[in-house]
Structure 1
Amino acid sequence: MLQKTYDKIDSIGRSILSIKAKGVHNKELAEVIYPNGDKAFAQVIAINNEQVTLQLFSGGFGVSTNCKIRFLGKPIQVGFSDDMLGRVYSGNGKPIDGGPELLTDMVRIAGPSINPVKRLIPKEMIRTGVPMIDVFNTLVRSQKIPIFAKAGEPYNRLLANIATQTDADVIIIGGVGLKYDEFHYFRQRIEEAGSKNKTIMFVHTHRDSIVEGLMVPDLALAVGEKFALQGKNVFVLLSDMTQWSDYLRQVANAQDQIPANQGYPGDLYSQLASRYEKAADIDGAGSLTILGVTTMDDITHPVPDNTGYITEGQFYMKDGYLELFGSLSRLKQQVNETTREDHRSIMNVMARLLSEAEERVKAQKFGSVKDDYSFRLLDYRKTFQKELMDPFRYLELEDALDLCWDILARYFKKEEVGLSSKLIDSFWPKEGQYKILKPHNNE
């Protein structure tokens, strides 16, 4: 195919350049050829008649108007192979672990999502070993769901734990704007857990080009989709999609786009949706599940606000815990009737009692908590937080459900919990194993 080369750049700014060209396509890959013969890559991001805007992968430093632009007639692609398992790649798809580069079976990134006709209704649980997820907000294969958290919360530690504890066939970690210690923690945790042979990492650090950061989710999802089409159950973990959105905002501002809410581009929703909608359970093949971190100070911030419309719930991390009432899995009802017969009932009862306990916390501030049942509710709340809300405590689902029954028996009588006699006969701990605790002094 004839490659078109142009030698007149109209304008350069930050990581954006503009040139007049004919016959090029959106998302097409181009080479920037420096006067000394060095080369860099760019991608077409906007076309207005003959005016073409390109995004430079390495930034605009050193680019001058006498550089040449050669359009390659193809979109950005990444090599694909089972040999990728256990490997670490940068945000431009190049290996950074000392291994060879893959140049065969090239896969287009940021391509169209799976045809809806080929999508199955989600119905299989993903076990994570995290009680607040497995019991109360069960993750379902092919779900798209974020972790909402403030900056500084240990969300990357949670992602690393989930990556090593899940029963997926392939784990793909996409890191955007990671600090070096976060990057090395992911690698160390995966190697210690023996999960390296099923894990692929695409890593962009805070010192790399923002364009490479923007490519990370697309690389991770393109490779994940390819594995899913081979029949594998793939779990893609992305951190941090707020940082990714901030990079998107920087590029939009460099293009002098008219800003929307808080300076973000007007197509922020579409940009996020095109990534999250890659999640799918594919008829006759495997599945792709997406868990992405969305850092925030406020739920009304444009990134979590848009994310909430696109995804199927969220896990809310606060003060190092996974909160029950801030979290929601909209697909949990698809699976928690088939996990164990008591799952849905125990989940509902534990949540109801915790809600009652929260009301007692408010009443306690006014000195109006004096009865035995209320004090037991307050103690129940402390135990619930300590033993179930800790995101770093590993428990199999069955053990976590048994723990729920044990906690109920510590603080309540059988007739107080509102469960069926059939379930109580089957699961309530043996008489005498726990006793109703005496009310505490209101100290």
Structure 2
Amino acid sequence: MKASLFKKIHTKVIHLTKATCTLEATGVGYEEMAIVDGKAAQVVKIAGKQVTLQVFEGTEGIRTDAEVVFLGTAPTLKVSEELGGRFFDAYGDPIDGKYAPAGKAVETGGPALNPVRRKQPFDMIKTGIAGIDLNNTLVAGQKIPFFADSDQPYNAVIALVALRANADRIILGGIGLSNDDYLYFRSLFANTDRPEKIIGFINTTESPAVERLLIPDMALAAAEYFAIEKNEKVLVLLTDMTLYCDALSIVSNRMDQIPSKDSMPGSLYSDLAKIYEKSLQLPSGGSITIISVTTISEGDITHAIPDNTGYITEGQLFLRRDTEIGKVIIDPFRSLSRLKQLVIGKKTREDHPQVMNAAIRLYADAANAKTKLENGFDLSDYDKRTLAFAKQYAQKLLAIDVNIDITRMLDISWGLFRKHFQPEELGIREKYIEAYWEKATEPEGEDDVLTDENVMLADTSFKQRNKIAPKWQ
């Protein structure tokens, strides 16, 4: 990023912190970019004639007589078809060793599209993951985060979602990625059938932390171009939004703002809403769907970041390691897609809502049976059957490495129902029982029905199993 010729040069900095500098200037706009002693900066506060800039690389080495040049525009991105298959940094400059793409320059971070021009979401996004498609169906134009502990393979999961989703364009916003994760995404996407449909905006751990604040706006500026002007279904992946919020906190604290809950800035809700509200569905068919990752500490959703995120987004997807099967699953109890009712049973088979509800109820009964087992109570025949069902349900449907279509998911569910239960135990409408019960076939695999002998084995080995953290498969 270079300063343009014939711009006024300011040379009197009146205040410096580790991340910001303040000077007197007029005719300057909020979020306008500037160059401070050769370092990129952005206007974050205007109070009369005093303008405060956040310097992305930090203010180390900057003197009070440093040259400051305002560029006259907010951050911009050149948008065109040439973005396809490319990777860029937080400023929109190429990091893949190729040429800088040409195109129309658009400002990033602008307002969301007027709701009058939008339409209620109506199209399902298929991922092939039953924990999503079957239980928490996603809809084009939705905004939803993954909540995951930092040691879980959340980047691998959203990569799977990206590769399986029926989207025209996938835009990755990598916020504070390790070099290994960046190279993983780049290698994975380069080897797809259509690498040109994937675009990446990347900030790594080696880049200044404050630059992370530019990544979501860059990704969404590209998304709006392809959704609004090209009428495409765009899937935006943002990982990790916790690191984005940490960068907000850094700037806020260094500007001596009074922190709010968990040392986050008081503007956290607005800062997050500005990003997530860019999701949309257009009448013409173009859409922007935002799937993000928010890492949490030991499942604590009361922290300010997941707490505010939950108020803005339309549900959440929880990752959890299932110690019974040794795999990561989409937790059916803590996950929710608030827009799934718009498509299940309409864009999917008619029995979808009933099958989904019955399966989760039986899975909950299995959780109750497991609690009884851990506390030394005898299990009924029904308890044993629910435990056997839950294990196979997790193996064949909830595990994130399962890749099947929604019709096959429903067929497998019916097969599990028929293997372990009687029709009257399901609570499913009779017309669906008549239509699908006799057609159901038992799923392939070992017989997991619990006997008295392996109930005792499960009881004695429970603590040992839960001390082991199995690797994701």
In the superposition, the TM-score normalised over structure 2's length comes to 0.89
Say if 1:176 and 1:216, in contact at 8 Å, map to a contact too: yes
Query: 5 Å matches for 1:166-185?
Result: 166-185=165-184
How far residue 9 of structure 1 moved from its aligned partner, in angstroms, is: 1.0
- Segments of structure 1 that go 5 or more residues without pairing to the other structure are none
Partner deviation per Cα, 1:162-210 (whole Å, 9 max, x = no partner) = 1111111000000101111111111122223324110000111011012
- Segments of structure 2 that go 5 or more residues without pairing to the other structure are 322-327, 457-473
1:228 corresponds to which letter in structure 2? A
Partner deviation per Cα, 1:47-105 (whole Å, 9 max, x = no partner) = 11111001123322332222211112211101111110100011221100111113530
Residues 186-195 or 217-226, more deviating:
186-195
2:317 corresponds to which letter in structure 1? F
Q: Which residue is 1:65 aligned to? A: 64
How far residue 422 of structure 1 moved from its aligned partner, in angstroms, is: 2.4
Say if 1:322 and 1:390, in contact at 8 Å, map to a contact too: yes
Q: Which residue is 1:99 aligned to? A: 98
Partner deviation per Cα, 1:357-381 (whole Å, 9 max, x = no partner) = 1111112223333321111011111
Provide the C-alpha distance between the structure 1 equivalents of 2:247 and 2:408, rounded to a whole number of angstroms: 42
Aligned partner (choices 325, 336, 340) of residue 349 of structure 2: 340
Provide the C-alpha distance between the structure 2 equivalents of 1:21 and 1:370, rounded to a whole number of angstroms: 76
Residues 253-262 or 356-365, more deviating:
356-365
Provide the C-alpha distance between the structure 2 equivalents of 1:131 and 1:241, rounded to a whole number of angstroms: 25
User: Aligned residues, how many?
Assistant: 438
1:331 is the counterpart of 2:339: yes
Provide the C-alpha distance between the structure 2 equivalents of 1:337 and 1:433, rounded to a whole number of angstroms: 24
Provide the C-alpha distance between the structure 1 equivalents of 2:241 and 2:440, rounded to a whole number of angstroms: 50
1:127 is the counterpart of 2:126: yes
Provide the C-alpha distance between the structure 1 equivalents of 2:440 and 2:401, rounded to a whole number of angstroms: 31
Q: 1:345 to 1:431 in 2, by over 3 A?
A: closer
Q: 1:395 to 1:438 in 2, by over 3 A?
A: closer
Q: Which residue is 2:277 aligned to? A: 277
Q: 1:430 to 1:279 in 2, by over 3 A?
A: closer
Say if 1:409 and 1:434, in contact at 8 Å, map to a contact too: no
How far residue 322 of structure 1 moved from its aligned partner, in angstroms, is: 1.1
Say if 2:131 and 2:329, in contact at 8 Å, map to a contact too: no
Say if 1:91 and 1:215, in contact at 8 Å, map to a contact too: yes
Q: Which residue is 1:233 aligned to? A: 233
Provide the C-alpha distance between the structure 2 equivalents of 1:6 and 1:433, rounded to a whole number of angstroms: 76
Give 3-state SS (helix, strand or coil) of 2:400's partner: coil
Q: Which residue is 1:51 aligned to? A: 50
Provide the C-alpha distance between the structure 2 equivalents of 1:132 and 1:218, rounded to a whole number of angstroms: 30
Query: 5 Å matches for 1:419-434?
Result: 419-428=428-437, 430=439, 433=442
1:212 corresponds to which letter in structure 2? E
1:310 is the counterpart of 2:321: no
Say if 1:369 and 1:375, in contact at 8 Å, map to a contact too: no
Provide the C-alpha distance between the structure 2 equivalents of 1:331 and 1:80, rounded to a whole number of angstroms: 31
2:155 corresponds to which letter in structure 1? N
1:289 is the counterpart of 2:289: yes
1:242 is the counterpart of 2:246: no
1:425 corresponds to which letter in structure 2? E
How far residue 15 of structure 1 moved from its aligned partner, in angstroms, is: 2.4
Say if 1:372 and 1:438, in contact at 8 Å, map to a contact too: no
Aligned partner (choices 381, 384, 388) of residue 390 of structure 2: 381
1:369 corresponds to which letter in structure 2? D
Provide the C-alpha distance between the structure 2 equivalents of 1:5 and 1:431, rounded to a whole number of angstroms: 76
Say if 1:377 and 1:411, in contact at 8 Å, map to a contact too: yes
1:7 is the counterpart of 2:11: yes
Provide the C-alpha distance between the structure 2 equivalents of 1:123 and 1:48, rounded to a whole number of angstroms: 45
2:83 corresponds to which letter in structure 1? M
Identity %: 39
Provide the C-alpha distance between the structure 2 equivalents of 1:419 and 1:146, rounded to a whole number of angstroms: 31
Query: 5 Å matches for 1:351-430?
Result: 351-428=360-437, 430=439
Query: 5 Å matches for 1:178-193?
Result: 178-193=177-192
In the superposition, the TM-score normalised over structure 1's length comes to 0.95
Provide the C-alpha distance between the structure 2 equivalents of 1:419 and 1:264, rounded to a whole number of angstroms: 47
Residues 372-381 or 303-312, more deviating:
372-381
Partner deviation per Cα, 1:376-426 (whole Å, 9 max, x = no partner) = 011111112222221122111111111111111221122321223322232
Q: Which residue is 1:213 aligned to? A: 212
Residues 269-278 or 432-441, more deviating:
432-441
Provide the C-alpha distance between the structure 2 equivalents of 1:200 and 1:30, rounded to a whole number of angstroms: 26
Give 3-state SS (helix, strand or coil) of 1:175's partner: strand
2:26 corresponds to which letter in structure 1? K
Provide the C-alpha distance between the structure 2 equivalents of 1:162 and 1:315, rounded to a whole number of angstroms: 12
Say if 1:127 and 1:166, in contact at 8 Å, map to a contact too: yes
1:225 corresponds to which letter in structure 2? E
Q: 1:400 to 1:152 in 2, by over 3 A?
A: same
